[in-house]
Amino acid sequence: MERPADLVVRRARPEELDALCLAFPSRPRVLHEERLLQQEGGHGPYVIAWLHDEPVGHIQLQLPDERDLDAMLEGRGAAWAEDLWVKPSARGRWIGPTLMRVMEAEARRVGVERLVFFAGVSPDYAAARAIYAWMGYRERRPEPFIESAVIADDDGATHVYVEAVTIWEKDLA
Ligand SMILES: CC(C)(COP(=O)(O)OP(=O)(O)OC[C@H]1O[C@@H](n2cnc3c(N)ncnc32)[C@H](O)[C@@H]1OP(=O)(O)O)[C@@H](O)C(=O)NCCC(=O)NCCS
């Protein structure tokens, strides 16, 4: 994997909130805020890729949380990777796999033994699925199921997110 020379992949800093909102407007401000707060609280880093000093991609690691029974049961106690995304203008430079690698390194550092995440089954996610398979992740079961959530928008409205997904997982140990 060749990494662009001017690519930096690291944890977000609280003072970078405005830059993240500007660079990733398709994610509401409250979501970036929540991820920064979760990172600060030790629940898992919010990993950002910077190219030429501009944020171009993100992924979040959510460490196992014993108070979140749904996530514990569905993940069978594993840590969750959330929302891998690279700006369309920065795609095709292996930034997505680099974000995954850095997130895995963060997970290993705190003793995570297994990672899980949802991936869409539509053609829109063909790149992501190819990358996951290449990195050694496997689908737990081939049958898709529906993931849904109500997302708060920046203008105070909400929208519903619905996607057919499968669960992917990998042992890090
Ligand atoms: C998935 C995503 C993060 C990939 O990031 P990226 O940095 O652009 O990845 P690249 O295009 O450099 O792909 C790396 C390798 O993956 C493989 N790949 C990429 N697109 C592919 C496709 N459509 N089909 C099969 N393999 C593909 C190739 O091997 C590619 O390397 P190559 O171009 O040298 O052959 C990015 O496309 C994205 O943000 N997509 C929308 C959001 C998304 O799908 N997120 C995942 C949610 S589960």
pTM of the model: 0.94
Q: Which residue bears the tokens 């909102």?
A: 21
* Atom 24 of ligand 1, residue of closest alpha carbon: 127
Please give the average per-residue pLDDT across 49-77, as a whole number: 92
Ligand 1: distance of its center to the CA of 124 in Å? Answer: 10
Q: Is the pLDDT at 62 greater than 90, yes or no?
A: yes
Domain boundaries, the chain: 7-171
**Per-residue pLDDT, 2:** 63
**Per-residue pLDDT, 103:** 97
* Atom 48 of ligand 1, residue of closest alpha carbon: 119
Question: Given pLDDT bands bounded at 50, 70 and 90, which one contains residue 48?
Answer: very high
Residues enclosing ligand 1, CB less than 6 A? Answer: 84-86, 91-97, 119-120, 125-128, 130-131
Mutate to test the pocket of ligand 1, among 94, 100, 147, 170 (most ligand atoms within 8 A of CB): 94
Phi-psi region of 143 (alpha: psi -120 to 50; beta: other; left: phi over 0): beta
Question: Given pLDDT bands bounded at 50, 70 and 90, which one contains residue 20?
Answer: very high
Q: Which residue bears the tokens 């499968």?
A: 166
End-to-end CA separation in angstroms for the chain:
22
Mutate to test the pocket of ligand 1, among 47, 91, 168 (most ligand atoms within 8 A of CB): 91
Please give the average per-residue pLDDT across 47-67, as a whole number: 95
Atom of ligand 1 lying closest to residue 83 CA: 47
Q: Is the sign of the CA dihedral 59, 60, 61, 67 positive or negative?
A: negative
* Atom 27 of ligand 1, residue of closest alpha carbon: 127
pLDDT cut 70: percent of the chain above it: 99
Least confident of 5-19, 97-111, 118-132, 150-164: 150-164
Superfamily of domain 7-171: Gcn5-related N-acetyltransferase (GNAT) (3.40.630.30)
Residues 106-115: pLDDT tens digits?
A: 999 999 999 9
**Per-residue pLDDT, 1:** 57
Q: How far apart are CA 146 and CA 165, in angstroms?
A: 6
Ligand 1: distance of its center to the CA of 145 in Å? Answer: 22
